[in-house]
Amino acid sequence: MPNKTKIIAFANNKGGSGKTTAVANLAYSLSEMGRKVLAVDADMQMNLTLSFFDEETVMQLASGKNNIYYGITEAKSLTDCIVKTSYKGLDVVPSSSLMSMMEYNLYSVKDRENCLKNALSETVSKEYYDYILIDSPPTLGSWVLNILVASNHVIMPVEASPWGLFGVANMFDFLEDAKKYNKNLDLLGILITKVNTRKNYYKQTVFNLQNTPDVRVFDTIIRIDSEVEWAQDNSMPVGAYKKTARSGLEYMELAKEVDRLCR
């Protein structure tokens, strides 16, 4: 029997492609659908943690035991690092700025590509969560390899801009490398983000990606919406910040699409 908990990594080595925004809002939308979701902040920038908690709380979490750095390096398990959010069915493993040390730390660890997988195994074996969504830093090293080794699927957010596609080929190569360690790793799809429908350029990005062999592009595209930034400024998912926000509705559509593909 496959495990009930589906683990999805959000990765793209290009910063600003919408990874963190996608994890926070997809996590919220899936929880609104009644799914149990754990959002894991694996980036030292702590933006995913800031999507759910105010700065003061984030700093407290980062300096204590409720964060991924402590979980990986000390506890060797993320189970006790999990923090509840104010949203039903949505929990978070916060990050810490100490995650900037992780790449360096991994060099001296045995079985280094499996640290995150091992630390998640207790939580996964309980089959409590329907989804574990992992937010990645914009790098392609041992830590992101850890994230891909720990995951069943990958979602690659790509910004619909002239440089959004730059580096996508590197990402594909990296996914192939990761498959040497995790042969069932599946690219669930490319998520086109930050689309400006008033300009025609985004159609070029969609066209190029749809014509990439063996790659699924999600039907849902996420358009630019200033409510995203207001919601982030208030440490809230956009759908919770403003029920009618267009991007919140788009993330809900994406959640249905992801849920259909994973079940």
Ligand X SMILES: Nc1ncnc2c1ncn2[C@@H]1O[C@H](COP(=O)(O)OP(=O)(O)O)[C@@H](O)[C@H]1O
Of 13, 17, 66, 67, the one binding ligand X by CB under 6 A: 17
Structure tokens at 107: 């060099």
Q: What is the DSSP string of 243-259?
A: TT-HHHHHHHHHHHHHH
Which helix (H) or strand (E) segment is 40 a member of? strand 37-41
Cβ atoms of 55 and 1 within 8 Å: the answer is no
Of 21, 49, 66, 123, the one binding ligand X by CB under 6 A: 21
The residue (of 19 and 117) whose beta carbon lies closer to Mg ion is 19
CB of 22 to ligand X, least distance (A): 7
Hey, how many other C-beta atoms are within 10 angstroms of the C-beta on 181? 14
The residue (of 18 and 189) whose beta carbon lies closer to Mg ion is 18
Structure tokens at 254: 């994406």
Burial of 61 (0-12, 13-18, 19+ CB in 10 A): buried
The residue (of 15 and 162) whose beta carbon lies closer to Mg ion is 15
Count of positions (residues) in the chain: 263
| 18 interacts with, out of Mg ion, ligand X, none, CB within 5 to 8 A per kind | ligand X
Q: Does 20 bind Mg ion (CB under 5 A)?
A: yes
Site for ligand X in 33-62 (CB under 6 A): 47
Residue partners of 177: CB distance under 8 A and separation at least 6: 145
Q: Does 229 bind ligand X (CB under 6 A)?
A: yes
Which helix (H) or strand (E) segment is 192 a member of? strand 186-193
Dihedral sign (CA 212, 216, 220, 224): negative
Interface pattern 26-55 for Mg ion (x via CB under 5 A): ---------------------x--------
| 36 interacts with, out of Mg ion, ligand X, none, CB within 5 to 8 A per kind | none
Stretch that binds ligand X, among 75-83, 102-110, 184-192, 217-225 (CB under 6 A): 217-225
- The site for ligand X (CB under 6 A) is made up of 15-21, 47, 138, 193-194, 222, 224-225, 228-229, 232, 247
- The site for Mg ion (CB under 5 A) is made up of 19-20, 47
